[in-house]
Each structure stands twice: as C-alpha cells, then as structure tokens.
C-alpha cells in the first residue's frame, strides 16, 4: 500500500472512531506511519483527506451492501441478508455516523459523500422492493420508497441506540422489529 492509500485508510478509521474534529492530521500521520511531507503532497489539507477517507468508507459500504443485494434469492431474502449481516455495531456506521458530526454536516463538500451514499442505499433498497413487488413478494399497497426509507432509518437509528446503551442489544431488537415488519409485508400478499 502506497503512502496515499495508507493515509486514506488511517483517516477513514479515525473518522469512524473519533469524528471529523477528533481526527487531526497528526493522528493520521501517527496511525499511518507516513511522513508529513506525504500528507501535504497528496492532500491539500485535512478536509481534502477527510473527503477521500469518507469516499473510501462509502465505497466499502456500497460494495458490502451490493454483495448482499445482488446475490441469489428473492428481493426480500436479499434485503434480509443485508439487514442481518455481521456488523461492528458499537462502532456505528462509518458513513451514517458522519451525518451526526456537526462539522461534516455544516460543510457541503464533507457532507456530499455521506448524502450520496445514504441516498444510494435508500434508492437501491427501493429498487429491490419494487422488484419484490413486481414478483408478487410484497403485499399490495406497499410503497417501496417509503418502506426503503424506513428500513434505512431504522438501521441507522439502531446504531445510535446501541452506542447510547453501550450494548448491541438495542441494535438487534430494532433489526428484529424491522424484519418483522418486512415479514408482515410479505405475508399479507
């Protein structure tokens, strides 16, 4: 891994752990083991590096989700696999947690990867639900875009509940609840 990739990887982990304010260039340099000259050779400053790190986290989230979404099974089975996959619950979502960072939300260039990734996720789940609706998997009257928004909101919110409780239990209860709603939407067809 080259210096640029080491810096991005270190920054992506630190942003996930500490947020934007808590991720200093010095901490990135220490974690990456790369010299200061490399940081400013590859990036104009902290925000430029943070954007690259958030894009890195976004690409990872999309790839992981897409692996479940494009796998075998019905649309509902693929969504279920995504909801039930193993996660580092107490760390939160590496993208969703950035939406709770006041400095990220206040800066359009920092917020853009977060906004784009969450919009992609909601859109992709909507596509799958539309596919499930067309295949007769879902009950009539289900609105795929609204159900997708609820699924993504519950997933993101369940990270917050788990972190606040310092326990994965609230996360798992919330996911079990959304799975029950999804099952009800399929059972009523």
Read off the CATH number of the domain in which 22 is found: 1.10.357.10
Give the chain's domain count: 1
Q: Name the burial class of residue 23, with classes exposed (0-12), middle (13-18) and buried (19+) by CB atoms within 10 angstroms of its CB.
A: buried
* Largest CA-CA distance found in the chain, in angstroms, rounded: 61
Q: pLDDT at residue 142 above 90?
A: no
Structure confidence at residue 65 as a pLDDT band (50, 70, 90) = very high
Q: Which of 39, 41, 54 is nearest to 112 (CA)?
A: 54
Residues shown for the chain: 189
Structure confidence at residue 186 as a pLDDT band (50, 70, 90) = confident
pLDDT at position 10, please?
97
CA 86 – CA 97 distance, rounded (Å): 18
pLDDT at position 139, please?
83
Q: pLDDT at residue 110 above 80?
A: yes
Read off the pTM: 0.92
pLDDT tens digits, residue range 25-64? Answer: 999 999 999 988 889 899 999 999 999 999 999 999 999 9
pLDDT, average across residues 84-94: 94
29 contacts 42 by C-beta, under 8 angstroms: no
138 contacts 78 by C-beta, under 8 angstroms: no
pLDDT tens digits, residue range 153-177? Answer: 999 999 999 999 999 999 999 999 9
Q: Which of 146, 141, 148, 149 is nearest to 188 (CA)?
A: 141
pLDDT, average across residues 89-103: 94
Structure confidence at residue 187 as a pLDDT band (50, 70, 90) = low
Structure confidence at residue 141 as a pLDDT band (50, 70, 90) = confident
The contacts of residue 24 (CB under 8 Å, 6+ apart) are: 46
The domain of 121 spans 3-187
């Amino acid at each position: 891994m080259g210096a640029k990739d080491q810096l991005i990887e270190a920054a992506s982990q630190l942003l996930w752990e500490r947020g934007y304010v808590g991720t200093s260039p010095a901490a990135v340099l220490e974690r990456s083991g790369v010299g200061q000259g490399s940081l400013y050779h590859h990036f104009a400053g902290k925000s430029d590096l943070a954007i690259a790190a958030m894009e890195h986290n976004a690409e990872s989230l999309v790839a992981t989700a897409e692996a479940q979404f494009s796998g075998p099974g019905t649309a509902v089975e693929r969504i279920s696999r995504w909801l039930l996959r193993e996660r580092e619950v107490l760390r939160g979502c590496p993208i969703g947690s950035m939406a709770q960072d006041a400095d990220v939300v206040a800066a359009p260039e920092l917020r853009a990867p977060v906004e784009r990734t969450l919009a992609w996720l909601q859109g992709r789940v909507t596509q799958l639900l539309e596919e499930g609706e067309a295949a007769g998997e879902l009950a009539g009257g289900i609105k795929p875009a609204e159900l997708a928004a609820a699924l993504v909101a519950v997933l993101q919110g369940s990270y917050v509940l788990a972190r606040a409780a310092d326990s994965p239990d609230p996360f798992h209860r919330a996911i079990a609840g959304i799975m029950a709603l999804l099952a009800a939407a399929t059972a009523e067809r």
